Amino acid sequence: MLLGEYDIAVIGGGHAGIEAALAAARLGMRTVMFSISLDAVANLPCNPSIGGTAKGHLVREIDALGGEMGKAADATFIQSKMLNRGKGPAVHSLRAQVDRKKYHAEMKRRVEEQENLQLKQAEIVDISVENGRVTGVRTSTGAEYAVKAVIVATGTYLKGKILIGDYSKESGPDGMFPANELSKNLRRIGVELARFKTGTPARIHADSLDFDKMEVERGDDKIVPFSFETENVGENKVNCHLVYTNAETHRIIHENLHRSAMYSGLVEGVGPRYCPSIEDKVVRFANKERHQLFIEPMGLDTKEMYAQGFSTSMPEDVQIMMYRSIKGMENVEIMRPAYAIEYDCCDPTQLLATLEFKKISGLYGAGQFNGTSGYEEAAAQGIIAGINAALKLKGEEPLILSRSDGYIGTLIDDLITKGTNEPYRMMTSRSEYRLLLRQDNADERLTPFGYRVGLISEERYRKLQEKLRLIDEEIKRLESTTVPPKTANPILEKYGTSPVKTGVKLSDMLKRPELDYEKLAPADPERPDLPDAVCEQVEIRLKYDGYIKRQIMQAEQFHKMESRLLPENQDYSSIHGLRLEARQKLNKIQPKSLGQASRISGVSPADISVLAVWLETRK
């Protein structure tokens, strides 16, 4: 029953699948995206929020490449907040609470209206591979589609299982059907799978909460959008609230640990280290008297609230006791119980940097299927997989981002080089170059890549060039403008910084941590009227000039190691001097360069020295 022929099939309509399908279609590929339920397209099964620490960086980078997540979040947010403002710009991260239903509807509409893209409700049960190359897919109803490439973005649906106390049921998130058959097919064609777990808190009724007993968490007065193209940013419509667990909460948890699916032995999968269940937090951090929880709305047209930080696999009666032990939640009514969910995923060391499987031409992985957690990590992989599947079919060079290009490059390199034995979460600390990889300069770093592959328009690229010109001109103006002491000192003394005896450059004044553009205004009457984004970049570049230059030098050293390429399909067992573990790991990963080899767990500096000498002898 052959029902169609396409260039690319995307399995899954979540955040990875959407970015993959949109990217492929926009690059001219006839694309089909399959979702088990069209009502689950762009679903936010956990917290309806986009961004957060390091995750906001990923959303900005996706947008800079030509992706959609940032635009959809800007169109549907109900509260926006820049996190970590009290710290340096490297860790500033945008986070937005979005309206869950409106985000789904907005993103589904964008998918439906995209040229070259068909959206279909179906469960894919088989991927056909002939002579090591993908040739088609088959649905559970027997419909077949001939394709040249497949992107697997199955999220938590792949053999999904819901666990609540001693109850377990095969299910996708939110009670959706699981994808049970595809795992067997993937194993048959040679894909190694693992078993991971994640969880989500209960949804609670807003009218059963006493918000007067909670701390209010308001959004920012001045809202910064995710997308560099968003001009009308909208406004905050809701408040979030902060509450804490207490001794009674912890007592209830300890007395019922044996009833938790995680502690009773019912859970087989490995959970995320950086997003543990509440029972795991209480056990692992026994000395902590309380844990913070955020009560956040699910949308404007619903009474459902999300209790961030309160995920659990306890049975429902224990959940009620736990939740009602919290101040302001004494009479809480649970609308949807919390649950843990297990699912199959692949070992990402089977992938190339393009996210294509090494041993199966035309098969790509993206999102939680690759062992990650989070909507943003999924979307980041999705756009790269979609781009590279399209570029391969067009016979063009792939898009491979390095660790110094962006957090997306760091994410993918970590996965394919080190693998992961738990759901991988992006954090700013994972990057060696985080001062270079700020969210505010994601357009400067990655829009040229998006333009090269064809996802960024000529107009948007020209606007970026104009922005960079304005930044350079303003820095030159500040560096060439001298302010006399009689003008500078009143400002310097007002803000508690040392006065000067001779004239001082505006650039040197701006470098002082106590001053910013606004405080400098009385000494700078000739300041041009510049966009906020230009002023932000000028200030950051001047204030952090020395640190930025140092990281640029580190990045240059990194590129030297990356440029020392290793041969493909090399048998490292034959290289004398390598340790046994290094030979095994190198044979499995098949690193592209000496730099990548140095990041493989189990390959020591001594092994790298042996490889470097061996490379020289091959010359």
pTM summary value:
0.95
In the prediction, which pLDDT does 587 show? 94
Confidence of residue 512 (pLDDT cuts 50, 70, 90): very high
CA gap 65, 220 in Å, rounded: 26
Contacts with 7 (C-beta within 8 Å, 6 or more apart), sequence order: 24, 29, 30, 31, 147, 148, 149, 390, 393
Confidence of residue 270 (pLDDT cuts 50, 70, 90): confident
More confident residue, 218 or 262: 218
In the prediction, which pLDDT does 197 show? 93
Q: What share of the chain is helix, strand, coil (3-state, %, to 5)?
A: 40, 20, 40
The tokens describing 349, both together, are: 């060391």
Quick check: 619 pLDDT over 80? no
In the prediction, which pLDDT does 273 show? 77
Contacts with 391 (C-beta within 8 Å, 6 or more apart), sequence order: 27, 397, 398, 399, 453
In the prediction, which pLDDT does 265 show? 83
Quick check: 458 pLDDT over 90? yes
Q: Which amino acid is at 563?
A: S
CA gap 509, 267 in Å, rounded: 58
Confidence of residue 402 (pLDDT cuts 50, 70, 90): very high
In the prediction, which pLDDT does 274 show? 73
Diameter over CA atoms, the chain: 85
CA gap 439, 454 in Å, rounded: 22
Secondary structure letter of residue 314 according to DSSP = -
Output Rg (C-alpha) for the chain, integer angstroms. Answer: 26
Whether 22 and 110 have beta carbons less than 8 Å apart is answered as: yes
The tokens describing 84, both together, are: 């970590």
What is 205-271 written as a DSSP string? EGGG--GGGSEEE---SSPPPSSTT----------EEEEE--HHHHHHHHHTGGGSTTTTT---SBP
Quick check: 535 pLDDT over 80? yes
In the prediction, which pLDDT does 376 show? 98
- Cα distance from N-terminal residue to C-terminal residue, the chain: 55
Secondary structure letter of residue 14 according to DSSP = S
Domains and CATH numbers, the chain: 203-342 (2.40.30.260), 458-546 (1.10.10.1800), 563-618 (1.10.150.570)
Burial classification of residue 580, based on how many CB atoms lie within 10 Å of its CB (0-12 exposed, 13-18 middle, 19 or more buried): exposed
Confidence of residue 355 (pLDDT cuts 50, 70, 90): very high
- For residue 126, the surrounding DSSP H or E stretch is strand 124-130
